[in-house]
Structure 1
Amino acid sequence: MPQSSRIDELVAEWLKYDKNPETRSEIEHLWDDGEWDELDKRLSHRIEFGTAGLRAKMQAGYSSMNDLIGLAAHLSTLPDALKRGVVVGHDHRHNSKRWAGLTTRAFLNRGFKVYSYRGVVHTPLVPFGVKKLGAVGGVMVTASHNPAQDNGWKVYYENAVQIIPPVDKAIADAILENLEPEDDAWDSDTVREHPLCEDKTNNMRYDYHNHVAALFPPEEPADLAITHTSFHGSADLSIARAFAVTGLPPIMTVRQQRDPDPDFPTLPFPNPEEKGALSLAIETANSNGSQYILANDPDSDRFLAAEKIDRNQWHVYTGDEIGALLASYVLEEYKRTNRPLDKMAMVASTVSSKMLGAMAKAEGFHFEDTLTGFKYIGNKALELEEKGYAVELLYEEAIGFGLSPFIRDKDGITAAIAFVRLAARLHRRSTSVFAQLQLLYKKYGFFGTRNSYFKCGDGALKAKVFKGLRENKSDTGYPTQLGSFKVQDVRDLTDGHAYDSMQSDKKPVLPVSAADMITFYGAKESGESFVLTVRTSGTEPKIKYYLEVSSRDQATIEPLLVEAEQALAGEWVKSDELGLEKA
């Protein structure tokens, strides 16, 4: 049991600060019922920035999402911060509008100009607004594709990219130094009348769609039937307008999922990648004769597609497959301009497919990978731009894609437009996207992936799993065999365990962090190779893994993936022994 005196102090502090009767009542009831462990879990640990900002369950406590989360203190230290202002937007989730109002109030109280988006907006509009308006930062209140009980913040810096170290730590420190809210900090109802609060919603929407139109000038139309689903989120209005300004035909919608709904009534998880998530979209597409399905997650920054490849079968594309397809699209676009290929660049997360690297090697363009999360991908794109590269594609396997030099964040609307333009071009050539993917495999090699996770919210259990991966009877301590694959190299990007066998000094090139993340590389004597990354999630109670097998022979891919995945779950993670459920 946690020390009662420490819990007493934390409870007293929370009740002193929190003016929300609902969350105050939660803590009071836990106190009255003697739930010391739960109080310790909620009050002794602070919510931390993960791969996509702050994201957690909505409930009382410093470890969760609630009214007592703050940001303004750090941004006020930037040059001309108050005059340049901040952009604040929100999605449709429970509490999102209120928390956007509280965020706005916190900035207004410090003298910031605030560009406040009114009503539900899609996430890409916030970084677009930061860049367009020259703001010092932006906040989007959203939990993206998390379950209905969650909410969160995506925080953008003055470069219009999500924050990375050391800025995230500076903000966290500023929060700790400004814990006690001001008396009027709870007034979110009158912020719109404040003279420093400016409504730019319609202006930025208009400018955003003009930008999309400039990115994708109209082409010869193709007779394609397409169904789109918004997953009860914000995409419907934005994508309809985007199709119109780029000369694409109207799309059909999954009406049951078209309008924003914070309870996501038709989806157990509002994540397009979850098994069965496209069931309603497939049913709709079958009934209206669509050849393709487009899906955006609830805040519209991610994109998934599916294609009907025969009368009864749909192929749901993985993020890595879409990444390769979009790479072929932007490569064709770039070659049309006759610019030097060695000055074109693409960036992907290190857990994404190695196929993009194979394409870069074959075609002569520059490729780099980064840590997981678009905050790292976007900042790497800015670095490459400073070196003179034209960065044409950003992507991560978790269906996140960026194709705009103006928005260095993932954008599910522009990704959908690029995918449909590719489909239209191929249709005019009497072929399809699926056929194009097979051609890419034949040209650059076959790559197959198994990306999933083990459910694990227990920190001690997570530590035990990673300790097991580092304490083996080998020279390095790491496993030497994965099924029939021999492990040849290991890269550990974890604080206290930093190691990269591929570097002469054994020190990783990529930054290390407190979160566990280990990548294993290996091969078989017959030539097939594998890459496997195991990491803890920064926003969800999961141990994630990303497994890829590559081969010149497509027939070997699937059985080797199955074998390697079984070895991971059994000999490496010991999921049955530890009671870890695999997704």
Structure 2
Amino acid sequence: MYREKYEYWLNSPYIDEKEKLELKNIDDEREIEDRFYKDLEFGTGGLRGIIGLGTNRMNVYTVGKATEGLSQYLINKYKKDISVAIAYDCRIMSREFAQTAACNLCANGIKVNLFKTLHPTPMLSYAVRTLNCKAGIVITASHNPKQYNGYKVYGEDGGQITDASANEILSSIENIDDFSKIKHIDMKEAENKKLLNMIEDELDTSYIEKVKNLVIRKELVGSHARDLKVIYTPLHGTGNIPVRRTLKELGYENVFVVKEQEKPDGNFPTAAYPNPEDPKVFHLALDMAKNIKPDIIFGTDPDCDRLGVVVKDSHGEYRVLTGNQVGVLLTHYILSSLKEFHKLPENGRIVKTIVTSEMAAAIAKDYDVNVIDVLTGFKYIGEKIKEFEEKGDKKYIFGFEESYGYLAGDFVRDKDAVIASTLVCEMTLYYKMAGKSLYEALMDLYKKYGFYREKLISIELKGKKGHEEIETILHCLRHSMKRTLGNVKIIKKLDYKLSVEKDLVNISEKIIELPKSNVLKFVMEDKSWFVVRPSGTEPKIKIYLSVIGSSSQDSQEKMETFEKNVMNVIRNAN
């Protein structure tokens, strides 16, 4: 099968001759198989893959095919007066893929609003809403290594498309079985036909004004922002201009940027894995910290939707906070501040994912605020905001996921590191004025609510064989899992593929009212839990672990034992 696709590309008049030569020169049969054994999967996250030639790679042909499918979907759904916003990040080929998509849409008579320069993913979400577009595209592979790029699709509400829309678009893409069906005009023709519009700077200004309006303690920030000392790294990505501009306009004068990581660069020369979840990306910032002695260090990933925060602990050592830790700090800060100013809404909701810390629910309970769980992926948080807006019965306050994504406000419908950096600065300033570090504030929360500890283990399983191994592990856990783990009873099994939550103590079942997803969650008698799911964007299986201890040491010991027991089960399942 893969050989047929390979030969089709070699013989197609639509493939560039130089690219055909490149394909002919591949002398590793396994490499040919990996490039052509399947089409790059279009899921709710759109496309993501290694840049290169082949059906299982990111290139102008796979981007063109996906966009043609999206064009047909939009034409069938909306008929006329259709416009799409497109943004792109700093990655290799991002601009070219954005222009390929724009020219395809315009060839189908669809108007395109294209950012002139690289922009953060959340600003694409904002542009879709502000410019009344029917869809949006952003070219990014988020925090993946430099070999990757991706293509994310957004709906007219500014949120990432969810399952139903993704399946409809996929059906349209699958109808395109020949390169001749992919329409294209060049940029000049698109402009002459008034189908291509370059987004003006006014949109940036209006977005930043809305971010600034999210500040809760305006008087505090107005009077003391200059007293906060910050080190910031954009990790060669899109965050440099909007993050610094927002903080500067709010009065944060002492923001020091890591020069070596300031300029956009898709090769990520100082951070092979440009992910603020990885402590190694902060090595240059930590060198700067020796002289600057900042109150806070933070970094944004290449498309500026994730934020990593570094604080000094009680021993004077810098440590990267987890996404869960930043999320619970922000949850507490936002709720306590809104309550103090009598602005806590009735029927307010915090939204988090099923793999995110339950500590947020314990905190929210003290403020009579409910927490809603959604599937992994910020698109599901965005979907809840839309639902609250349409029904009018609940008010969105804050949402976060363990993978360093946070969002306040409702003018963006995806995680937003420009917003998050502004809130983290305000929160750090508040605690500083109270004589407390952010780390001390976190310890206070642990002492009050319990020492929650979470961990993520990702196992890379590449190619066709790896995909089969992942399926085997999930099948075994779904059908052959025992009722105990170590010496602890499993009291609940949640199967999100079958939409069933089983109470193993009372022997009862209830329906899980979330979209179906190949995810399993097991809850233990001692409130620890673990989740197993395949990554939606990488060839990995992900295992999420959570325990609660009476102290930091106790939670660490519990995690070590729990991890050992869970990983034994995973290994035996393969």
Q: 1:380 aligns with which of 377, 380, 384?
A: 384
For residues 181 and 287 of structure 1, do their structure 2 counterparts lie closer, same or farther at Cα, with a shift above 3 Å needed? farther
Give the CA deviation at 1:10.
5.7
What is aligned with 2:438? 433
Letter of the 2:8 partner, please give it. A
Q: Distance in 2 between matches of 1:64 and 1:402?
A: 31
For residues 53 and 470 of structure 1, do their structure 2 counterparts lie closer, same or farther at Cα, with a shift above 3 Å needed? same
For residues 183 and 154 of structure 1, do their structure 2 counterparts lie closer, same or farther at Cα, with a shift above 3 Å needed? closer
Q: 2:494 aligns with which of 475, 491, 494?
A: 491
Helix, strand or coil: the match of 1:574? helix
Q: Distance in 1 between matches of 2:555 and 2:478?
A: 27
For residues 9 and 270 of structure 1, do their structure 2 counterparts lie closer, same or farther at Cα, with a shift above 3 Å needed? closer
What is aligned with 1:581? none
Helix, strand or coil: the match of 2:349? strand
Q: Distance in 1 between matches of 2:291 and 2:76?
A: 56
Give the CA deviation at 1:432.
1.7
Task: Give the TM-score of the pair, scaled to structure 1.
Answer: 0.89
Letter of the 1:535 partner, please give it. R
Q: Distance in 2 between matches of 1:407 and 1:189?
A: 31
Q: Distance in 1 between matches of 2:110 and 2:528?
A: 51
Structure 2 residue 413 is matched with structure 1 residue 408: yes
5+ long unaligned stretches in structure 1 = 472-476, 579-583
What is aligned with 1:254? 258
Could you report, residue by residue, the CA deviation over 1:232-256 in whole angstroms, capped at 9, with x for unpaired residues? 1111111111102223224101110
Give the CA deviation at 1:381.
2.0
Give the CA deviation at 1:279.
1.5
What is aligned with 2:146? 148
For residues 109 and 487 of structure 1, do their structure 2 counterparts lie closer, same or farther at Cα, with a shift above 3 Å needed? same
Could you report, residue by residue, the CA deviation over 1:430-488 in whole angstroms, capped at 9, with x for unpaired residues? 112111112222232221111121221211221232233234xxxxx323233343211
Moved more, 69-78 or 44-53: 44-53
Give the CA deviation at 1:388.
2.5
Give the CA deviation at 1:337.
4.8
Q: 2:475 aligns with which of 458, 464, 467?
A: 467
Helix, strand or coil: the match of 1:199? strand
Q: Distance in 1 between matches of 2:499 and 2:196?
A: 46
**Contact 1:362-1:444 at 8 Å conserved across structures:** no
Q: Distance in 1 between matches of 2:413 and 2:5?
A: 43
For residues 485 and 83 of structure 1, do their structure 2 counterparts lie closer, same or farther at Cα, with a shift above 3 Å needed? same
Give the CA deviation at 1:147.
0.7
Structure 2 residue 56 is matched with structure 1 residue 63: yes
Task: Give the TM-score of the pair, scaled to structure 2.
Answer: 0.91
What is aligned with 1:518? 520
Give the CA deviation at 1:96.
0.7
Moved more, 190-199 or 105-114: 190-199
Helix, strand or coil: the match of 2:342? coil
Q: 2:484 aligns with which of 476, 481, 486?
A: 481
What is aligned with 1:538? 536
Letter of the 2:348 partner, please give it. M
Letter of the 2:199 partner, please give it. K
Q: Distance in 1 between matches of 2:316 and 2:343?
A: 43
**Contact 2:43-2:166 at 8 Å conserved across structures:** no
For residues 176 and 17 of structure 1, do their structure 2 counterparts lie closer, same or farther at Cα, with a shift above 3 Å needed? farther
Q: Distance in 2 between matches of 1:332 and 1:17?
A: 63
* Alignment length (residue pairs): 555
For residues 210 and 540 of structure 1, do their structure 2 counterparts lie closer, same or farther at Cα, with a shift above 3 Å needed? same
For residues 89 and 22 of structure 1, do their structure 2 counterparts lie closer, same or farther at Cα, with a shift above 3 Å needed? farther
For residues 23 and 352 of structure 1, do their structure 2 counterparts lie closer, same or farther at Cα, with a shift above 3 Å needed? farther
Helix, strand or coil: the match of 2:113? strand
Letter of the 2:135 partner, please give it. G
Q: Distance in 2 between matches of 1:113 and 1:451?
A: 42
Structure 2 residue 19 is matched with structure 1 residue 16: no
Q: Distance in 1 between matches of 2:254 and 2:344?
A: 36
Structure 2 residue 274 is matched with structure 1 residue 284: no
**Contact 2:125-2:154 at 8 Å conserved across structures:** yes
Over the residues paired in the alignment, what is the CA RMSD in angstroms? 2.4
Helix, strand or coil: the match of 1:169? helix
Give the CA deviation at 1:125.
1.1
Q: Distance in 1 between matches of 2:18 and 2:366?
A: 59
Q: Of Structure 1 and Structure 2, which has the larger fraction of its residues in helix?
A: 2
5+ long unaligned stretches in structure 2 = none
Q: Distance in 2 between matches of 1:161 and 1:183?
A: 26
